[in-house]
Amino acid sequence: MSPAGDFSKALLRWYDAEKRDLPWRRNNDFYPVWISEIMLQQTRVEAVTPYFLRFMGLFPDVRALAAAEESTVLAAWSGLGYYSRARNLHRAAKAIAAGGEPSDFESIRALAGVGDYTAAAVASIALGDARAAVDGNVMRVISRLANDAADIRAGETRRRFAGQAARLVDRRRPGDFNQAMMELGATVCTPKAPDCGKCPVERFCGARAAGTAAQLPVKLGGKPAREVALDVAVLARDGRVFLVERAASERRLAGFRELPGKKDVKGARFRAAGEFTHQIVNDRFRVRVWVAGTPAGLPAGEWISPSELGDLPVTTTAKKALRIAGLL
Ligand code: SF4
């Protein structure tokens, strides 16, 4: 057996025994695999699990998703972040309902919101396509296995690591292999504290032998987060809260309901209720929450009861602020 064969055998034996019982692993049909892979983009398994279960309950197949209103899909996604994923998912569901389920990597890759990684993951799991799915987790594992200190942000390094992953992928069980690599990166070969003593592929690992695991991968020149101060107003009347709708032209979260800015509420007496930080991509928002009585002037918006909030797309920032103000 080749070294790659020995490697995948050891990895898959561990995966078969230790893999987490996740709801999208219960069948390999295209629809649940695709939904889960879109949800898992930039989002942790623990956060995705309840959303996946609720989403599948609301939209059990691609036709149900295609037939839903966009606002219903966004409401089901509300709190998971990166909302362009939900809009693209909805667009892609309509395309699939009209033209049929994709049958190979290229047709999956052509769906809205699907990049190389997601297409490879879905094609390998749902269609058995022997293709490596290489995300940040897998890059980290490869950099350690190869004990390679090249900058992981460089295109040349990423191409080299992707080539190494492609040589390792198990041809008979590519979907399980890819999930095992991700599982290894998420649970054992973690960014800050790789647990090499529990690693099923320890004997293949260059960084383990060299004692360099904790220093890899090397990432150079990261952009620092931009700090953004935000003052939001929580206004309550007759058990309802006042929310405004983000304009359709907004780059992020268009159409979502959010709290008005403090500066847009005129003639109110404010008291500070608390503050929190919230990161969206490279912006770190420091949000101060202000509660006020009846103001003299309000921007365009509407009064909404807490029971209606679950049916509307509401920003995570607004939900956090309403919780701080004791209204959610
Ligand atoms: Fe990662 Fe350590 Fe396993 Fe190497 S031996 S793959 S560094 S957990």
Domain map (residue ranges) of the chain: 3-215, 226-324
Mean pLDDT, residues 19-30 taken together: 94
Task: Give the single-character DSSP code of 283.
Answer: E
**Is 3's pLDDT higher than 70?**
no
| Tens digit of each residue's pLDDT (9 = 90 or more) over 224-238 | 778 999 999 999 988
Segment 2-30 shows an average pLDDT of: 91
Query: Which string of b and e fits 63-101 if b means at least 16 CB within 10 Å?
Result: eebbebeeebbbbbbbebbbbebbbebbebbbebbeeee
Q: Is the CB of 144 under 6 A from ligand 1?
A: yes
Burial of 139 (0-12, 13-18, 19+ CB in 10 A): buried
> What is the pTM assigned to this prediction?
0.79
Least confident residue range of 42-51, 61-70, 301-310: 301-310
Tell me how far the alpha carbon of residue 140 lies from the centroid of ligand 1, in angstroms.
Answer: 10
Both tokens of 46, joined, read 């623990």
Cβ–ligand 1 distance for 141 under 6 Å, the answer yes
Give the model's pLDDT for residue 144.
Answer: 97
* The ligand 1 atom nearest the CA atom of 200: 3
Q: Whose CA is nearest to atom 7 of ligand 1?
A: 213
User: Is the separation of the CB atoms in 53 and 23 below 8 Å?
Assistant: yes
**pLDDT, average across residues 300-325:** 89
If you count DSSP H runs as helices and E runs as strands, how many of each does the chain have, helices first?
14, 6
| CATH number for the segment(s) 3-215 | 1.10.340.30
Q: Ligand 1 pocket: which of 8, 139, 145, 182 to mutate (most atoms <8 Å of CB)?
A: 145
Q: Residue 147: CB within 6 Å of ligand 1? A: no
Q: Averaged over 7-35, what is the pLDDT?
A: 95
C-alpha distances in Å from residue 301, one per residue of 76, 243, 246, 279, 298: 22, 6, 10, 25, 8
Cβ–ligand 1 distance for 189 under 6 Å, the answer yes
65 CA to centre of ligand 1 in angstroms: 40
Confidence of residue 1 (pLDDT cuts 50, 70, 90): very low
Atom number, ligand 1, closest to the C-alpha of residue 140:
1
CB distance 202 to ligand 1 below 6 Å: yes
pLDDT tens per residue, range 85-102: 999 999 999 999 999 999
Mutation to probe ligand 1, out of 138, 196, 198, 215 (largest number of atoms < 8 A from CB): 196
Please give the average per-residue pLDDT across 266-288, as a whole number: 89
- Write 158-166 long-range contacts (CB < 8 A, 24+): 158/134, 161/134, 162/132, 162/134, 165/132, 165/134, 165/138, 166/131, 166/132
The CA R_g of the chain, rounded to the nearest whole Å, is 23
Examine the pLDDT at 2 and tell me if it is beyond 60. no
Binning pLDDT at 50, 70 and 90, where does residue 296 land? confident
Give the ligand 1 atom nearest the CA of 216: 7
Q: Which residue, among 197, 273, 261, 259, has the nearest Cα to 230 in the 3D structure?
A: 261
Weakest-pLDDT range from 25-39, 128-142, 223-237: 223-237
What share of the chain has pLDDT > 70, as a percent? Answer: 98
Indicate whether 207 pLDDT > 50: yes
In single-letter form, the type of residue at position 40 comes to L
First to last CA, the chain: 59
Question: What is the distance in A from the centroid of ligand 1 to the CA of 143?
Answer: 10
pLDDT, mean over the chain? 92
**Residue 35 CB coordination number (10 Å):** 22
Evaluate if residue 282 carries a pLDDT over 80: no
> Does CATH number 3.90.79.10 belong to domain 226-324?
yes
Report how far residue 120's alpha carbon sits from residue 6's, in angstroms, rounded to the nearest whole number.
Answer: 23
Q: Which DSSP string corresponds to 7-51?
A: HHHHHHHHHHHH----GGGS---HHHHHHHHHHHTTS-HHHHHHH
Q: How many angstroms does the Cα of residue 189 sit away from the middle of ligand 1?
A: 5
Please give the distance, rounded to the nearest whole angstrom, from the Cα atom of residue 13 to the centre of ligand 1.
16
Q: Confirm or reject: Cβ of 119 under 6 Å from ligand 1.
A: no
Please give the Cα distance from 265 to 268 (Å, whole number).
7
The answer to whether the CB of 201 is under 6 A from ligand 1 is yes
The proportion of the chain whose per-residue pLDDT surpasses 90, expressed as a percent, equals: 77
Which active-site residues does the annotation give?
Answer: 37
The pLDDT value recorded for residue 222 is 67
Residue 140 Cβ contacting ligand 1 at under 6 Å: no
180 versus 312: the higher-pLDDT residue is 180
